Amino acid sequence: MIDRFKRLAGGFRWKGNIYAALAQSLLLLMGLYMVCRFSFYFYNAEFFPGMTWSRFGKIMVGGLRFDLSAILYLNSLFLLLQIIPFTFRFTQRYQKVLKYLFLIINSLGLVVNITDTIYYQYTLRRTTLSVLRQFENERNMSGLLVQFLIDYWYAVIFWMLMIYVMTKVYARIKIEGPQITNRVTFYMAGVVAMLVISGLVVAGMRGGFGESTRPITLSNAAQYATTPKDVNLILNTPFALLRTAKTPVIEKVTYFSSDAEVEKIFPVKHVPLDSTAFQPQNVVVIILESFSKEFFGVYNRDIENGSYKGHTPFLDSLIGHSRAYQYSFANGRKSIDAMPSVICSIPSIEVPYVLSHYSGNKINSLPSLLKEKGYYSAFFHGAPNGSMGFQAFANLCGFADYFGKDEYNNNNDYDGIWGIWDDKFLQYYAEKMNGFKEPFYTNFFSVSSHHPYNLPDGFKNKFKEGELTIYKCIEYTDYSLRKFFETASRMPWYKNTLFVITADHASAQIRIPEYNSAWGYFSIPIFFFKPSADWHSFTPEIIQQTDIMPTVLGELHYEKPFIAFGRDIFHDQTRPFAFNYLDNTYQAFRGNYLLQFDGKKTLGLYNFNNDKFLVKNLVDQLQDTARAMEDQLKAFIQQYNNRMVDDNLTVDGPLVPGKKK
């Protein structure tokens, strides 16, 4: 009976289980990568001052996630060839071939890891493909390589020792063929095992199983970093190379010959001239998921012969007591574009900043700058912690605390996909802020206005779908904001608070034809509300997400210089300007005009105010306007690209790596 059960359950009995052998192989590599991380730290310890055991432990734990991802990427072919459900995989010749594949591939992974241990002192960042491109035109690469091997002979010996250990340990991992008692069951079990293992491998590569988890990238390492420099310890070089393999590389440009000329045309160093003393107010920045300007009545008074009411009655009323702007634009089309734009005044051009090779650069941010003024800071996002890389970026920005689904700790209010329902999490947000010591700076990012556009059970009859499925969710989040402000208005911190409300990007759902355009794709609300101020302005002016940071600092009378790609919309006398990137084309907005530029020449100039469908190209008729806007856009691109490559995004200037003796 027992033998019969075994045949039915597995069809074979293992002598040397191939799946256990795979697990042992991966554990071997994880151990070697951890040794590399130890050596990386001890060789470069002077660049990581103040290291503590708890900080180092956090680095080691975080590093496991990135090591596993890199190892699975590198060994994907090896894993596939081991789990295909055929008997020939147990033959000695086949396993010998796989042994050499394993050793060669992982020897290369180890060599780039160990090489970066030495090279880090010159770059102060993990090597990515953008770093390698610096050498693509070097004619004496062989000579440089020989000199490297001579100078750093001890690194070569360390690598050879690692290869020796890997070879010896792998040789002890035995795989023996099974005793097949039922061939059909054997193959069926093999197929099931292959599917399960493939799923686990993909999840390991991505960094998690969650539906809202995007594949981890360099910026996710900040989630485990105590200081920004720790990111380089958490990462490993194979991961950095693999994750930047298909990422467009930002390159330096020289539209203008001198930095002074560029700074004159498009200044990014803000030196406050206001002599008023710093005024510590609380700052609350609310970023709404997919809230297009199309959904608002107040922005669309001329639509449908003036009868259009929109779907945001509360926000429309709040705008009536705020400083708002008719032409307000997002700098990108993704949620991950919004974070650096709003919090750090860093837009995303060509590639999202947090996915770029330069996501570990030293940056200004509202929480880090205000921390110098005694501010406490916190980021709120009701999604599962780690979702979208927000927690990692919040940590990189210097937020003191992060509050997500884990901290909320009540799955009864979870929508099952994206996060905690907005009405519940906004109330939680208000209550948490009531316990914060003032002054504080907080960010809230909503989740409920997201596909598949569901509502909590108690609201399904309250808000109807309408012509677009997103409408009901927009109305629900608008209602949730009304309740939030009602709760907050009864709290002592409320009157001493500056509120900033915007969206991460415009919605993919469009009904009003005018918004189905190159300017409409980026049209979002941006407005400022202060309960203690008598604000009620709605001006026909251009504003963008990157203007939020300098405007907030200006309103607080922050007196120190900082780098920002936006302007203080309240006080700055420079002409309003906005930019974004669409279909491999730079877009610039100034006055009534939209200019489109491909990096070499201007493609079009449109009066987007009157010509909403962008039909009439005015580039030939308004050559002076086009030339002036093109120069400003070129200056922006040069500032952005060159500062990004040089890690020159703070007033301190570019890092000057110290060469070790």
The model's pLDDT over 342-399, given as tens digits with 9 standing for 90+, comes to 999 999 887 778 877 788 888 999 999 999 999 999 999 999 988 877 888 898 899 9
Instruction: Enumerate the H helices of 541-587 as residue ranges.
Output: 548-555
- CA 191, CA 358: separation in Å to the nearest integer? 42
User: Residue 333, Cβ neighbours under 10 Å: how many?
Assistant: 18
Which pLDDT value is given to residue 141? Answer: 57
Contact of 511 with 294, CB cutoff 8 Å: yes
Query: How far is CA 130 from each of CA 4, 67, 112, 344, 647, rounded to the nearest angstrom?
Result: 60, 21, 15, 23, 13
Which pLDDT value is given to residue 208? Answer: 75
For the residues of 305-317, what is the DSSP string, one character each?
GGT---S-HHHHH
Which pLDDT value is given to residue 333? Answer: 85
Which pLDDT value is given to residue 213? Answer: 56
**Of 107, 644, 36, 79, which Cα lies nearest the Cα of 363?**
644
- CA 573, CA 628: separation in Å to the nearest integer? 17
* Tokens encoding 336: 């991950």
**Of 100, 122, 117, which Cα lies nearest the Cα of 156?**
117
The pTM of the full predicted model, rounded to 2 decimals, is 0.77
Contact of 377 with 282, CB cutoff 8 Å: no
Residues of the chain scoring pLDDT < 70: 1-16, 122-124, 129-144, 177-181, 209-214, 228, 246-248, 653-661
Which pLDDT value is given to residue 558? Answer: 96
CATH number, span 277-576? 3.40.720.10
- CA 157, CA 159: separation in Å to the nearest integer? 5
Q: In the 8-state DSSP scheme, what is residue 331?
A: S
Query: How far is CA 605 from each of CA 145, 328, 594, 624, 638, rounded to the nearest angstrom?
Result: 50, 19, 6, 11, 21
Which pLDDT value is given to residue 8? Answer: 36
Which pLDDT value is given to residue 212? Answer: 54
Give the residue extent of every domain in the chain: 2-243, 277-576
Which pLDDT value is given to residue 20? Answer: 86
Query: How far is CA 248 from each of CA 98, 128, 133, 251, 604, rounded to the nearest angstrom?
Result: 33, 12, 12, 9, 25
